[in-house]
Amino acid sequence: MQRRTFLQTIALSSLPVLAPSISGFARADENEQRFGDLLIRPRATDHFELVFTPSRPRPIRLLQLADTHFHPGDESNRATEKMLQGLVERERPDFIIHTGDFVNNDSGKRVDWTGMDVLNGLKTPWALCFGNHDYPVKNAEGSLPLDSIRQKMERGFQGYIDAPTGRHYCYRYDILDKDNPTPKASLFFFQVGHATGDRRISDPQLAWFRSQIERDAERHVESPITVFVHIPLKEYHELFESGRATGEKAEGVCFDSDTGESFKAFSASHRVVGVFCGHDHVNNYHGDWQGIDLAYGRVSGWGAYGPPNWQRGGRLISLDLQAPKPRPEHTEVF
């Protein structure tokens, strides 16, 4: 069923990049901070380090959340909060990654931010990739600009670059172990736009990505890269049509404005090993496409569209830093 048809059914039934400045961090006194086995070091507005220091060797555990769509005064918020608290208590992730559509900031209705209290209350460091519904399109009561959202994230470490085209929320985390200053793995994050034609990873962000790869080559950094973004790449559609995907596809792949340039850039880097997205709430499949693991996150919010029996949850991603080239191993969790 296509996204538009699904939504109608539900309704009826119910470029050069400027160098970043350290002074741009949300909290001026922010230096390195420890959260359990993670030491987080900000290096620039678009660059953080995660130093992983477990008492005994184990993989680092990342929990991907997607499409919470927190609504003001909605009972679904409480159901989402309870589910997320249970996930974190049971799975004990080291780091949480939200791949967008955190809230309906683009609605004409009042927007509130109790969902921010929910994520901050999980007491686990987290990052956010902005989705198309996270933009203050209609400037409704309570809506916030993107940078104000970023600054409300306690234990949330979201980066950005300032370019001639404005501020772009693309950034990276390098994962290190305590005995080696060279990254063992890297996480790259991208925002997507909200308007027709802009719902993709923008050209300035792709230019930033290529510049990161070039700079890494000069520093002899070759860590495998896992990418997080809200909207799927068009290759997700090609993957499923090839018959090589594992999981369910219950709506069309809504890759919106993606043209294939993002995948080309990721493939050309010879370092990207995985891409994780959200956006399509009732798709949950994954598979290898030309050497890159393409995976949907599990829809996490009970305020998001989807049939009542489509279970909300997350995707737990493990990276074994003892491996020569750590690749993401992942499973859905509820």
State the DSSP string of 266-310: HHHHT-EEEEEE-S-TTB--EEEETTEEEEEPPB--TTSSS-TTS
What is the residue extent of each domain of the chain? 30-333
Confidence of residue 72 (pLDDT cuts 50, 70, 90): confident
Two tokens, residue 13: 């039934």
**Which tens digits make up the pLDDT trace of 203-231?**
999 999 999 999 999 999 999 999 999 99
Alpha helices in the chain (DSSP H): 3-13, 75-91, 114-121, 146-151, 203-218, 235-241, 261-269
Q: What would the pLDDT profile of 114-134 be if each residue is shown by its tens digit?
A: 999 999 999 999 999 999 999
Tell whether domain 30-333 is in CATH 3.60.21.10.
yes
| Structure confidence at residue 28 (pLDDT) | 31
Closest CA to 100 of 72, 142, 65: 65
Which two three-digit tokens encode residue 94? 């080291």
- pLDDT tens readout for residues 144-160: 999 999 999 999 999 99
Q: HSE, CB side, 13 Å, CA atoms: give it for residue 82.
A: 6
The two tokens of residue 321 are: 């830093």
15 has pLDDT over 90: no
Confidence at residue 73, expressed as pLDDT on a 0 to 100 scale:
82
Kindly report whether the global pTM for this prediction surpasses the value 0.85: yes
Over residues 72-81, mean pLDDT: 91
30 pLDDT band, cuts 50/70/90, is low
| Per-residue model confidence as pLDDT tens digits over 79-98 | 999 999 999 999 999 999 99
pLDDT interval class at 21 (50, 70, 90): very low
pLDDT above 90 as % of the chain = 88
